[in-house]
Each structure stands twice: as C-alpha cells, then as structure tokens.
Amino acid sequence: MAPGWLTDLAIKARRQPVPPALRPPADGAGRSAAVLLLFGESPVGPDILLIQRSTKDRVHGGQPAFPGGGVDPQDDGPVAAALREAAEETGVDPSGVEVVGTMPEVYVWRSRYRVTPVLAWWHTPSAVHPASPDEVDAVERVPIAELTDPANRFLLRYPGGLPPSVAFRVRGLLVWGFTARVLDSVLSIGGFERPWDRTRIEDMPPDVLMQVTRA
C-alpha cells in the first residue's frame, strides 16, 4: 500500500492550478502523452525514478526525464501509457507498481505534447536498466533527500533571453526544463522542499545548449 505522504501528495497535486507557461492550448492542439513519477523507498528515504534520454533524440536528446511518452491508440488512457512506456524504457515491472493518482495535464511546447503526470508507488521494486537504448542512455533512482539538498538546487539561465528556471544537479545529471518544474512542484506540495538560494543562477552548459539549439 502506498504511504500516506504519497496519497496526500496525489490529492493535493490534483488540485494544483497549472502555471501559465505549462497550460495546454485552448484549441486542443498537441498529442496526448503521459509520464510516470514512480516513487520508491531507498536506504536514505523516498526516491524517484529518472531516465536520461538518448542523445539520438533530436527534441530532448540527453535530457533527464521521467519515463513516459505518447498515448497510443491501444492504451487505455494516460495511466496505461505511462506504465507501458516505463516498462519499455526501463524494464520496470508494472505489477510492482501502484498508481495513486494523476496531476493536471500540462503542455511541453518543444515536443507539443499534452502530458499527464501519473503518480505511483513502487511497492515491489524490480531491476531497471536502459531497456530501449535508442531512447534511453541511463536509468537512475534519485533520493528525494538529494533533490532537496540546497547544494543541488539553482536557477538555470536559458538562451534567447528566457527567464531562468529551476534546475537540479544530482547523480551527475542536470535536471532542467519540464522535468525540473514538475519535480519542484511535487517537492513543494509534498512538504519535502528545503530553503535554497534562489539568487544562484548558472548558464546552460555548452553541451546541453548544443542539444537545445539543434532541436
């Protein structure tokens, strides 16, 4: 059974308003997609499953993300799509996963996806790995304690004069963009967030900038 903090988080997350920058277009444009926010328990407390997308991906190449992808015709909605994609990308066994809720749909403008984040509890963890090498370079269980460590949090300056946005540096991964925004929201809603220096602003690294500008 999912822990109380996660079921409470799911209830609160469902009620959260979507920030203007992430609101889906009113005309219904965009393809339906889903991502899996899979929480488990590690020796140092709760953790969450992240992947690093393959550098072959022209839109999100090399970027850390939640497992997930487009909702296919055979999927029974976003929840089924999130579980299927997680299994295909990381080898996670869906039978060991309990879905506890969904968050409001958000829009990822770079890929034009209307994304439903699916919250789940990993009650029976299975071995995970880059099960789809063409899509995934690495799979990592990241402790929440590392994500909330003030030393791992900062604002990332985007190219083109866009305002800086939240980012994390954990386990050798630079987590930014959509994934970082969702993580930031979940950590806050769940009561995990610790005070951090919001005046710390870093430029996007050259290798990441190259991936962004080639998309």
Length of the chain: 215
Backbone Cα Rg of the chain: 16
Shortest CA distance to 69 belongs to which of 44, 34, 110? Answer: 34
Domains of the chain, by residue range, sit at 4-214
The residue-averaged pLDDT of 103-107 equals 95
* pLDDT number for residue 196: 98
Hey, what are 207's tokens? 């290798």
Q: Are 47 and 141 in contact (CB under 8 A)?
A: yes
* H-run or E-run covering 76: none
The residue-averaged pLDDT of 157-171 equals 91
More confident residue, 134 or 212: 134
The residue-averaged pLDDT of 152-173 equals 92
Q: How far apart are the C-alpha atoms of 78 and 103, rounded to whole Å?
A: 11
Q: Kindly tell me if the per-residue pLDDT of 19 is higher than 70.
A: yes
* H-run or E-run covering 170: strand 165-170
* H-run or E-run covering 107: strand 106-108
Q: How far apart are the C-alpha atoms of 25 and 140, rounded to whole Å?
A: 32
> What SS3 state is found at 204?
coil
pLDDT band at 180 (very low <50, low <70, confident <90, very high): very high
Tell me the pLDDT tens digit for each residue of 33-78: 999 999 999 999 999 999 999 876 555 567 899 999 999 999 999 9
Q: How far apart are the C-alpha atoms of 45 and 178, rounded to whole Å?
A: 24
Please tell me the pTM assigned to this model.
Answer: 0.94
Which one of 3.20.20.80, 1.20.1560.10, 3.90.79.10, 2.60.40.1080 gives the CATH number of domain 4-214? 3.90.79.10
